Amino acid sequence: MKAKSFIAALLTTTLLASGAFAANLSIVSGDTGNGREFLRKQLDRFEKETGNKVSIVAMPANSSDNFGQYRLWLAAGNTDIDVYRTDVIWAPQLADQFLDLKAAAKDVIDQHIPSIIESQTVDGKLVALPMFTDAPALYYRKDLLEKYKKPVPKTWDEMAATAKEIQDAERTAGNKSMYGYVFQANAYEGLTCNALEWVKSSGGGQIVEADGTISINNPDAAAAIDRAKGWVDTISPKGVLAYTEEEARGIWQTGNSVFMRNWPYAYALGGSSDSAIKGKFDVAPLPVGKEGQNSAATLGGWNLAVSKYSKAPEEAIKLALFLGSPEQQKERAIELASMPTIKALYDDKDIAAAQPLIPNWKPVFESSVPRPSAPTKVKYNEVSNMFWSAVHDTLSGNGTAAENLELLEAKLTELQGGSW
């Protein structure tokens, strides 16, 4: 061991009187709302149980920004971060930078939903341990739908018509800041999720299919994206082109939107005591684009990965196992409405009582649509970037969906080369 890294290792690892090693660990946190305080509470418990110290490294909430930063840190062999929180789509791209958790997790793997474990397994290596899963909902204002005698919309067109009618009537009644629909249309991973839902539920496929075929350049996909273009600056604020989850939730939770597309975390926050819409909203599956199609919810979720550059890998693995354990997932489900990856927790009475969304959302999760990260492997981020850019251009009025999807197809074909 080189002298410098030996001293660094000594600094990170202190020998306790008991003979056990205690490490100074760090974990990233892009948490929003009360998520960071919640994490701190769990870390405090881990510290007490193990004698380790864990510090939080604050990250942006935007998934794409995290990915860029992680790549830089990992490429530089950064030893300052021990545990990374990874988006469900990243396993194939970051697999080489993380430790294999298979052996350490062998006794708990069977507790998790198998498809999630599979999504985090690359060439037999368990790249990350699931922490929670995610499947979006259409949030709607129960009080407003009742007031205007409207049903919960089943199609995107119905959603837009109801949104417009209620928005206009509320504005006329003096509620000037009311909008019909808020969603995520910033140029980032969240737009890939939203647009995949419009396209898939309209019969337009999944961008790149499971067998690697590039399918996005088709009339159903184009119609779905053009339809969404019609929402910008009519039922949705023009600023939606810069919205991520949190900007959408900001409008929604202050009572200024009839509908919102968002993940389950907004359910817990919308029901909190300081929320203007507490008791006034509910959730439904996302609308359908075309008759004969099913509602499509993009599969999301976050995992715990241990950096291969960690100076205290064993303690870092303990931390990942701790945060992914049934006890911690249960608490996270109750307090933050994070959907567990532990099968048994979907039958847990305490979770059902605190967050009824969770057991109700199991079928939505089970039929959710994966982004094409498995077929495009290490190129997924570029594929997604090209897709969200084509969609963002269309929503911004730079070309029609048909034009932009044709260009996208050419770019994807070039990126693919002979095979993914």
Binding residues for ligand GLC, rule: CB under 6 A, are: 63, 87-88, 134, 189-190, 193, 245, 263, 300-302
State the nearest-atom distance from the C-beta of 8 to ligand GLC, in Å: 33
State the nearest-atom distance from the C-beta of 83 to ligand GLC, in Å: 17
State the nearest-atom distance from the C-beta of 382 to ligand GLC, in Å: 15
Closer CB to ligand GLC, 301 or 372, in the complex: 301
Q: What are 83's strand-pairing partners?
A: 27, 306
- In the numeric block, which tokens belong to residue 279? 């008791």
Q: Give the three-state DSSP class for 263.
A: coil
Rounded-to-integer distance, Cα 301 and Cα 158, Å: 29
Phi and psi of 393, rounded to 5°? -60, -45
Closer CB to ligand GLC, 170 or 245, in the complex: 245
- In the numeric block, which tokens belong to residue 164? 């417009």
Closer CB to ligand GLC, 194 or 202, in the complex: 194
Q: Percentages helix, strand, coil for the chain, rounded to the nearest 5?
A: 50, 15, 35
State the nearest-atom distance from the C-beta of 156 to ligand GLC, in Å: 20
State the nearest-atom distance from the C-beta of 112 to ligand GLC, in Å: 16
- In the numeric block, which tokens belong to residue 219? 């009339």
- In the numeric block, which tokens belong to residue 383? 């594929």
Closer CB to ligand GLC, 84 or 309, in the complex: 84
State the nearest-atom distance from the C-beta of 305 to ligand GLC, in Å: 14
CB atoms within 10 A of CB 414: 9
Closer CB to ligand GLC, 79 or 385, in the complex: 385
User: Which residue's C-beta sits nearest to ligand GLC?
Assistant: 300
Phi and psi of 84, rounded to 5°? -100, 145
Closer CB to ligand GLC, 130 or 375, in the complex: 130
Rounded-to-integer distance, Cα 187 and Cα 168, Å: 28
DSSP at 407:
H
